[in-house]
């Protein structure tokens, strides 16, 4: 969904007390303090184990005793199977939503977006109630388990409850990272325990125990596969016995959805959450279904020890089975493992309940105090409040821990099922909104073919199970007030909360066309990146659960200076190979070379606007009216306006546009103002210089992101250095022109030099270094991937177009590398607006560029092939793209050894890149020498009505007019900005001029043509990325 993400407005303010530079991002001034929020501290392995084993607790290890006693072995199995299918349906529905929007508050926050605030209020408080109640249940279960060693007469259960409570609170007080580590350990113990018990159970059933008693299916025959509930004869009694299992089974499964709450604190959520969701079936089939089969085989349903009301640990079916087999000592070992299970589940309960009420506070559905977090991202108030309810566990001291445990089981099961119901209702609304707004589910990070049918199944099943959960109290002679209240209070609470909140909030269900699929996506995409591939069997195993890159030991690499860029979020084109083969690159890069381009954006069979040579008539699309077209363009392009000088009517409008949800936009733009320290008053000292720019990245995003963020800073530093040497120097336009050229070349050169500096002796020393040593240096995991990020910047590239205006608003410089366009529009004395193209394309359409490259590389006929450098890349001038600027050894020895990229089609990728490198004889082939154009600016006669404006755009906009001569394109941009009757009022903060140009290019007032261009249903981009900046001068 990258097309919806406003990740293109990139600004930089130097964090120096003496600097007065400023930038505006999304209408907020950099540096303004914000309240602390949850931090993404949960790693992929944490998410994996939380999903698979985090809430495997006493429901499976202890609660199955009651279920077996009430339903028999087959009733137990069928009950867990049915609830397991409901659980799976809920999880795949939840997975689609949270993988797309992993926001704090999880499904509670999503209900606010896709249903209505009242439903979110109800979901939130029901979920909080669910996890608040289950916490004392787990503590009660822990006290039951402790009785295996010390009876309740010897040691009060209060002692064990207190001990467990202290452990649980301590874990959560250290924050999400500590919780994740503890949960990883506890869940690993649980997974190993349940797996071992299943294997042990198979051995015991086949007669492998000390007593060599081959049990087989003995207990399925006697006392039988089902239990006649309350001695009711016939199939009715069997059916009721099976149905009695459902509530207990629900208690065991409740908590699988915790991965949604953890999503707000998960690292790399877009990658890790789908993997965790897909592995839910492991937990259902292996742990629950496998566990219940073993229990039904080994323990008869009429065993008196299954009665939990006795309050002893012997009630655990697994302990009973081991004792029956005559294995001494093992019951204590298993009981200890089960105790850690109770601790783990209780820790998860407190974590989830505190995050639930935190999410409620964020939505305004709970007191704001609960949204308070410490600097470490710990919701301290919410945590303390939820922990206070754990004292309910002490009821078991007088009533009996086993009985209290069963009360909490009933309450939790019903509340949990209503949570599942709410999740699926939210999903069905999400599903409808996604379709109504013309999005394709194929573009979601995770989507299941079973939906929406699975969601409808769960929506029906959950209320039905809840409604009949307490049926036994209505059987003659079985009335029990405690059972009735604990089963039906949560069920009644849900509709009462919803109706009351609807009336109080006076809200209506959100229409599908009004649902918000955009807010928060920028932050989510910023936290998304591709992990380096696994390097050993351990990492491959965890990569399946999902991937884990920080488990295996890493080789410490040499230290390095500060990182030049803080994240990588795109698949890299290189891979590391075995020692026996030459270094090979990835399938993605091979495909790029095979089609003779590293810039796939330029090579698609693009649909065009009505005025272009191609059309989108063959694509399925959604017709929109005029209002819907305007709204859709705003949603897709995220137009931005930066006010530069309100009094003089100066502003800059920008946008980046990519309508295909499956494509990530690789364009960026920048709008920035800064003050030069030390500038003379004659040079505008104290006033703001303005820098705007557009950047068109290719192959990946790391380099374009780095350049857009840092190149403006470099330009400012060069100017300040010149001012410090000679304050009058910047008053000479020719001097600034030369300075900009040096800034571009220096910036590009340093990208490669930062890598070569890692190897004493530079590129010539690489022949004396082993691949292992090079890998050690550049794949510096323990050092925070500082070197890794430096190397990565050399693999991608970007064009760059910068416009610099001095503080007196008298001079304009435009620096260009690549194929972006700059058009200066001026108002003539007759009132006519005329556009002047200030740039020329640095690609194969420019004969002067072709001649320049051939002149620099005589006797190399393949230096330009098919209009591309070395037959591969379209722009002739770029920043980055070091494989075209360095000797082949740089690529083979350094870039090929970077730990990343897919491992398929090795032979194809190797051959493709070797074909490229075989042509690389006398680099560099791509230049970073920018063309600089200078223009004197004129001021409008009327203040607030400027007489000039500048249009900067990437080549995606040009392609929509590719049937026109370049000068006609330039005038089209001008005409799109200067609408009839608007000549005296082009400065309007609420009227984005870049959006005017975009709409004109897509079809203008022809709403059908624009609809085709922005709603075509395709999993492949049909338009190149389009970025536009319009600056009033």
Q: DSSP for 909-936, please give it.
A: HHHHHHHHHHH-SS---SB---EEEEEE
| Predicted local distance difference test score (pLDDT) of residue 12 | 29
| Predicted local distance difference test score (pLDDT) of residue 68 | 84
Query: Per-residue pLDDT tens for 294-303?
Result: 888 888 888 8
Class of domain 44-514: mainly alpha
* Phi, psi (rounded to 5 degrees) for 502: -60, -45
Could you tell me if 586 and 1004 are in contact, meaning their C-beta atoms sit under 8 angstroms apart?
no
Checking if the pLDDT of 550 tops 50, the result is no
The band of 261, judged by pLDDT with boundaries at 50, 70 and 90, is: low
- Helix or strand run (H / E) with residue 670: strand 667-674
Could you tell me if 958 and 907 are in contact, meaning their C-beta atoms sit under 8 angstroms apart?
no
Strand partners, 668: 695
Checking if the pLDDT of 842 tops 60, the result is yes
Of 314, 289, 297, 320, give the one whose Cα is nearest residue 72: 297
125 versus 540: which is more confidently predicted?
125
Q: 123-132, 152-161, 261-270, 429-438: which range is least confident on average? A: 261-270
The two most distant CA atoms of the chain are separated, in Å, by 108
| Predicted local distance difference test score (pLDDT) of residue 598 | 33
1025 versus 401: which is more confidently predicted?
1025
909 versus 488: which is more confidently predicted?
488
Question: Three-class SS of residue 989?
Answer: coil
Could you tell me if 510 and 432 are in contact, meaning their C-beta atoms sit under 8 angstroms apart?
no
Which residues does 72 contact at the CB level (< 8 Å), separation at least 6? 223, 224, 225, 226, 227, 238, 241, 296, 301
Q: 28-32, 138-142, 512-516: which range is least confident on average? A: 28-32
Specify the DSSP class assigned to residue 574.
B
Cα distance between residue 387 and residue 389, in whole Å = 5
Strand partners, 698: 797
Burial 416-455 (b: 16+ CB within 10 A, else e): bbbbbbbbbbbbbbbbbbbeebbbbbebbbbbbeebbebb
Checking if the pLDDT of 558 tops 70, the result is no
- Helices (H), ranges, 101-151: 106-114, 117-146
| Predicted local distance difference test score (pLDDT) of residue 832 | 84
Cα distance between residue 979 and residue 250, in whole Å = 63
| Predicted local distance difference test score (pLDDT) of residue 591 | 32
The band of 761, judged by pLDDT with boundaries at 50, 70 and 90, is: confident
Could you tell me if 883 and 573 are in contact, meaning their C-beta atoms sit under 8 angstroms apart?
no
Q: Which of 143-157, 398-412, 785-799 has the highest mean pLDDT?
A: 785-799
User: Is the alpha carbon torsion for 622, 623, 624, 626 positive or negative?
Assistant: positive
The band of 715, judged by pLDDT with boundaries at 50, 70 and 90, is: very high
- Per the rule left: phi > 0, alpha: psi between -120 and 50, beta: everything else, 898 is beta
Q: Which of 38-52, 367-381, 477-491, 843-857 has the highest mean pLDDT?
A: 843-857
Checking if the pLDDT of 365 tops 90, the result is no
| Predicted local distance difference test score (pLDDT) of residue 841 | 92
957 versus 279: which is more confidently predicted?
957
Residue 850's alpha-carbon distances to 457, 611, 737, 926, in angstroms, are 64, 30, 24, 12
Specify the DSSP class assigned to residue 815.
E
* Phi, psi (rounded to 5 degrees) for 188: -60, -40
Question: Three-class SS of residue 608?
Answer: coil
Which whole number is the average pLDDT over 674-681?
Answer: 74
The band of 583, judged by pLDDT with boundaries at 50, 70 and 90, is: very low
Which whole number is the average pLDDT over 909-927?
Answer: 80
Q: 268-277, 476-485, 742-751: which range is least confident on average? A: 268-277
The band of 52, judged by pLDDT with boundaries at 50, 70 and 90, is: low
602 versus 656: which is more confidently predicted?
656
Count of all residues that appear for the chain in the document: 1033
Query: Per-residue pLDDT tens for 368-380?
Result: 888 777 777 778 8
Which whole number is the average pLDDT over 78-95?
Answer: 87
- Helices (H), ranges, 363-400: 380-388, 396-399
- Per the rule left: phi > 0, alpha: psi between -120 and 50, beta: everything else, 230 is left
The band of 768, judged by pLDDT with boundaries at 50, 70 and 90, is: confident
| Predicted local distance difference test score (pLDDT) of residue 953 | 95
* Phi, psi (rounded to 5 degrees) for 804: -120, 130
- Per the rule left: phi > 0, alpha: psi between -120 and 50, beta: everything else, 443 is alpha
Cα distance between residue 468 and residue 559, in whole Å = 65
Could you tell me if 72 and 417 are in contact, meaning their C-beta atoms sit under 8 angstroms apart?
no
| Predicted local distance difference test score (pLDDT) of residue 8 | 27
Helix (H), strand (E) counts: the chain: 35, 16
Could you tell me if 624 and 999 are in contact, meaning their C-beta atoms sit under 8 angstroms apart?
no
Which whole number is the average pLDDT over 371-398?
Answer: 77
Strand partners, 878: none
The two three-digit tokens of residue 750, written as one number: 């340093």
Which whole number is the average pLDDT over 581-599?
Answer: 31
Could you tell me if 30 and 544 are in contact, meaning their C-beta atoms sit under 8 angstroms apart?
no
């Amino acid at each position: 969904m990258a097309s919806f993400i406003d990740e293109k407005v990139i600004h930089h303010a130097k964090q120096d007390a003496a600097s007065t530079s400023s930038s505006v991002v999304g209408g907020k001034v950099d540096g303004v303090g914000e309240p602390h929020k949850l931090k993404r501290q949960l790693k992929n392995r944490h998410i994996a184990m939380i999903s698979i084993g985090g809430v495997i607790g006493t429901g499976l290890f202890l609660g199955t005793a009651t279920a077996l006693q009430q339903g028999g072995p087959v009733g137990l199995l069928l009950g867990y199977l049915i609830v397991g299918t409901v659980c799976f349906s809920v999880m795949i529905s939840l997975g689609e939503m949270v993988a797309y929007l992993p926001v704090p508050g999880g499904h509670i926050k999503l209900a606010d977006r896709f249903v209505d605030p009242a439903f979110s209020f109800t979901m939130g408080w029901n979920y909080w109630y669910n996890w608040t109640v289950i916490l004392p249940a787990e503590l009660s279960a822990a006290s039951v388990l402790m009785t295996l060693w010390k009876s309740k007469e010897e040691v009060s259960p209060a002692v064990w409850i207190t001990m467990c409570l202290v452990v649980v609170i301590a874990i959560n007080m250290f924050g999400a990272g500590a919780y994740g580590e503890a949960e990883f350990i506890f869940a690993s113990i649980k997974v190993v325990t349940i797996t071992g018990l299943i294997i042990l159970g198979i051995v015991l059933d086949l007669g492998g125990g000390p007593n060599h008693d081959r049990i087989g299916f003995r207990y399925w025959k006697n006392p039988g596969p089902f239990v006649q509930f309350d001695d009711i004869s016939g199939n009715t009694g069997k059916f009721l016995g099976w149905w009695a299992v459902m509530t207990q089974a629900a208690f065991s499964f409740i908590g699988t959805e915790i991965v949604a709450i953890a999503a707000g604190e998960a690292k790399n959520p877009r990658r890790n959450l789908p993997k965790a969701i897909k592995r839910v079936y492991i937990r259902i089939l292996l742990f629950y279904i496998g566990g219940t089969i073993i229990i039904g085989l080994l323990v008869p349903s009429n065993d008196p020890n299954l009665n939990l009301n006795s309050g002893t640990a012997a009630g655990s079916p697994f302990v009973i089975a081991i004792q029956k087999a005559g294995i001494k000592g093992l019951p204590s070992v298993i009981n200890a493992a089960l105790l850690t299970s109770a601790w783990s589940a209780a820790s998860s309960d407190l974590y989830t309940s505190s995050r639930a009420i935190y999410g409620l506070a964020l939505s305004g559905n709970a007191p704001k105090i609960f949204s308070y977090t410490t600097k470490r991202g710990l919701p301290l108030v919410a945590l303390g409040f939820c922990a206070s309810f754990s004292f309910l566990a002490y009821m078991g001291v007088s009533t009996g821990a086993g009985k209290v445990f069963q009360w909490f089981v009933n309450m939790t099961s019903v509340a949990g099922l209503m949570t599942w119901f709410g999740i699926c209702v939210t999903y069905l609304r999400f599903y409808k909104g996604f379709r109504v707004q013309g999005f394709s589910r194929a573009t979601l990070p995770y989507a299941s073919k079973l939906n929406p049918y699975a969601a409808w199944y769960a929506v029906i099943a959950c209320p039905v199970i809840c409604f009949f959960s307490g049926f036994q109290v209505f059987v003659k002679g079985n009335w029990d007030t405690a059972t009735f209240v604990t089963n039906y209070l949560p069920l009644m609470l849900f509709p009462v909360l919803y109706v009351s909140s609807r009336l109080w909030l006076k809200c209506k269900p959100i229409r599908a066309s009004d649902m918000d699929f955009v807010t928060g996506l920028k932050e989510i995409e910023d936290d998304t990146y591709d992990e380096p591939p696994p390097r050993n069997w351990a990492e491959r195993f965890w990569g399946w659960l999902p991937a884990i890159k920080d488990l295996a030991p890493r080789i410490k690499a040499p230290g390095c200076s500060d990182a030049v860029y803080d994240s990588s979020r795109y698949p890299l084109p290189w891979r590391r190979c075995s020692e026996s083969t030459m270094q090979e690159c990835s399938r993605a890069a091979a495909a790029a070379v095979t089609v003779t381009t590293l810039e796939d954006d330029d090579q698609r069979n693009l649909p065009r606007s009505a005025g272009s040579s191609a059309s989108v008539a063959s694509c399925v699309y959604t017709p929109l009216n005029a209002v819907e077209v305007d709204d859709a363009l705003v949603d897709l392009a995220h137009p931005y306006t930066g006010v530069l000088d309100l009094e003089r009517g100066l502003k800059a409008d920008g946008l980046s546009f990519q309508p295909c949800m499956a494509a990530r936009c690789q364009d960026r733009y920048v709008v920035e103002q800064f003050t030069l320290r030390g500038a003379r008053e004659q040079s505008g000292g104290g006033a703001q210089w303005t820098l705007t720019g557009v950047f068109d990245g290719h192959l990946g995003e790391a380099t374009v992101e780095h350049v857009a963020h840092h190149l403006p800073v470099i330009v400012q530093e060069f100017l300040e250095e010149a001012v410090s040497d000679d304050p009058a120097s910047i008053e000479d336009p020719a001097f600034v022109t030369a300075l900009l050229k040096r800034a571009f070349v220096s910036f590009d050169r340093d990208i490669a030099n930062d890598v070569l500096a890692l190897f004493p002796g530079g590129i010539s020393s690489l022949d004396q270094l082993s691949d292992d040593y090079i890998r050690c240096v550049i794949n510096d995991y323990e050092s925070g991937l500082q070197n890794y990020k430096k190397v990565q910047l050399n693999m991608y590239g970007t064009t760059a177009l910068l416009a610099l205006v001095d503080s007196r608003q008298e001079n304009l410089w435009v620096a260009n590398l690549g194929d972006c366009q700059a058009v200066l529009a001026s108002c003539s004395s007759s009132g006519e607006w005329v556009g002047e193209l200030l740039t020329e394309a640095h690609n194969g359409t420019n004969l002067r560029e072709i001649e320049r490259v051939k002149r620099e590389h005589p006797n190399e006929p393949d230096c330009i092939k098919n209009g591309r450098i070395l037959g591969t890349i379209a722009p002739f001038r770029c920043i980055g793209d070091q494989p075209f600027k360095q000797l082949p050894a740089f690529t083979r020895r350094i870039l090929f050894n970077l730990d990343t990229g897919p491992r398929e089609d090795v032979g194809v990728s190797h051959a493709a890149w070797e074909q490229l490198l075989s042509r690389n004889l006398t680099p560099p082939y791509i230049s970073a020498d920018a063309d600089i154009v200078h223009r004197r600016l004129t001021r409008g006669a009327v203040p607030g009505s400027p007489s000039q404006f500048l249009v900067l755009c990437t080549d995606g906009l040009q392609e929509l007019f590719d049937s026109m001569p370049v000068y006609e394109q330039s005038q089209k941009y001008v005409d799109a900005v200067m609408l009839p009757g608007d000549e005296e009022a082009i400065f309007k903060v609420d009227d984005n001029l870049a959006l005017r140009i975009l709409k004109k290019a897509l079809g203008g007032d022809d709403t059908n043509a624009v609809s085709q261009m922005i709603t075509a249903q395709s999993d492949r981009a049909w338009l190149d990325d389009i970025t536009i900046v319009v600056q009033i001068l």
